Amino acid sequence: MPRFFVSYDIQKTTPDPHSTFLDLATDYGFDVWLRMKDGELRRLPNTTLVGSFPLVDDAHKAFYRLVAATTKEVGRKVVVEKVLIVKSAGPAMLKSDKKKPKSLRLLEIVKKAQRR
Beta carbons within 8 Å of 61's beta carbon, 6+ residues apart: none
DSSP state of 49: E
Q: 44, 32 in Cβ contact below 8 A?
A: yes
pLDDT at 60: 97
pLDDT at 115: 64
Q: How many CB atoms lie within 10 A of CB 27?
A: 14
Q: Does residue 110 register a pLDDT over 80?
A: no
pLDDT at 37: 77
**Domains delineated in the chain:** 3-115 (3.30.70.2360)
Q: 62, 51 in Cβ contact below 8 A?
A: yes
Q: 48, 69 in Cβ contact below 8 A?
A: no
Beta carbons within 8 Å of 67's beta carbon, 6+ residues apart: 10, 21, 78, 80
CA 81 – CA 43 distance, rounded (Å): 23
pLDDT digits (tens, 9 = 90+) for 59-109: 999 999 999 999 999 999 999 999 999 998 776 666 666 666 666 666 666
pLDDT digits (tens, 9 = 90+) for 22-68: 999 999 999 999 887 777 888 899 999 999 999 999 999 999 999 99
